[in-house]
Chains A and B, each alone.
Chain A
């Protein structure tokens, strides 16, 4: 709401002269200043109101708030006192969602008239259009006093006025709509005997609107149930000044005051006359009271508050108090019924009046702080491994578009097909809750590649959402995962050397690093076709991460077709994903053997491996058939070449013999090595031969 400070000063003469001081004061009393606007001689302030303070949405409300702080007077505009009598039209309320309804007949003067600029000032400051004296007067009254009113062309009303709920299929033509619309059933409406005149508390209708040429006007001033107004506004997807006010609760004392202000404006400036006031509904101030004990108030704020001080401070906001120094009974003014309901609400009034900054502060006794939880520590250790490898953390949305999911090339029946879906997303990009981290990881890699970033190492802690009717909430499970994606060099390239490109062994090394750092026995095994991500990774260049025999993660090269679907042409992205719960696994006890006293004796054996014979098989065979003093078998070299036109691999194994006391001779070690060669040839047949 845009407020003229000059106009506001009419209501609150104590308002500081300096706009900066006004701004600070407004911030301090809970009137949120969005911005100040230096409008020449008429500086203005744009306010955002707290959601619970319907009473702030007018000059009188703002002035009351400031005047109470400054202990200055509050001056309200003149109103015509309207007295309920014979209604100019029959009034009927069919639902208790209408609390109070008043209708005042106003007749235009013979010459008509216009409201002068001085009167239109709040309207101009609020940057609202001037429509006609009738409509302008209602808008001004709302801006001034916070009571929305509406004028109908009385000659367009057939029969009486009924406040009721809309019926199935009923049509209305709200103002500013291009054509009539069909209402849902159950919306609070104002109707005559034939048609709907307005959506209660929200907006009037075209076919009963007052125009500059209207001569007889029916002025509505009412109070409605806030939720009913809100429902109506939401269903019409409309938010008006009136609905914003009514949704926060009305003031039982205001409808006739608001109508009186409109009548005053029109009689004073437009030559109009009011001819009768009808009132329906019996909503009255319930005279709510709240007990307040000064000693408790003092303890709450850590500074003394006497009964007198409390009464004086609250009086500025319209609260009245009775009672003695031990306990006060505070009566809530009718305009604050909706937001002042208990003791703490009054505490807030007092704090606001005193100034939040002026009240003492204290720190409660704290015995001692706490340490990071085991999971927080574990997470940081995992991050240290990843950060050390040059990965950067990213953060993706919890959802993605169907298109992104379709890039994975999955079809119905695939484990990734089912998603939890958003029901009301404004954007189709947010339609599916993600059930994997890969889609967004690859999208992120593709985006970076498009920007020419070809050294990509990214990670994210995120959650995935999986449909599960048996879940506690009846819809889904959530899983926390860690994903990594990498492509390009495995470390920053330099002038000194050319680092190896990221590949599947690089990711396997990360698994091994994590296993070492966390002392969790992760095991890498062959691809598992049951894994949900199996089909989106290269069938050979992927591995499964097991923990205690259970699949907890996967890693591998992105399937080329999937990469192409994401617009990745040359790069080969590698993806890694592991369940966070696996990282929380209890660490194994520290276990090690003391290093040998003497350097071990090492023998090298190189085998040429046949098609798809794994080096691990050979290493296992060597270890299995070796003596107990064969300490370790390591794979130390790979030579890929051709023999007879066929690609073959020659792998070199280092056999590390422990020989602390020189108890084994060179001849004995050589004999063992020869025995191992025979064992490999025997177990793996012609698929392996010594080189």
Chain B
């Protein structure tokens, strides 16, 4: 009986002929003597014979389909992998670029002079003082090495140092009678200078094209350091003041 149990464990390989020659002979000799094992072997051989061993064959079309599908999947996979590797770098680059642009915009907004144009009501409008004299009185003297040349009395240019805020002061040239204004209240000169008696300057100012001329705030200009002074060009004749 012990031999039958041993044989039973080998029958599966025996029916396929997979045992070694010695094992095959051992099973065959036992089956000749044991009818039960012999019957079992016959049944299993018939069972296996029932089950077809052939598998369907691939057609050329199916073969091509499998190959193309596999290639496409591999390509898509490699592309996804490439994108996923690129993605953190791309995100980091994007963040850095955004930070750089934001910082640049913030810095630009700080260095950009703020231009304030005040709308002065008509009744409060001040007569135009002599712009050349007023500016010259408040401006920091220019170094002697740089001669100032002005082609026209109204040709006023202001060199603005960055980071220094110069509000634009409005100079209004109205149709107010300047002489009458001076007599009423000479101290209303917007620049604080005495009104010039030189009418030529007024006439020159009247001949200016734009009605609003930006000039530096005298108070601000006074407080600025010497090397970064606003440079006012004025006629050479008044430079010696």
Whether A associates with B in a native complex is: no
Binding site for B on A (CB under 8 A): none
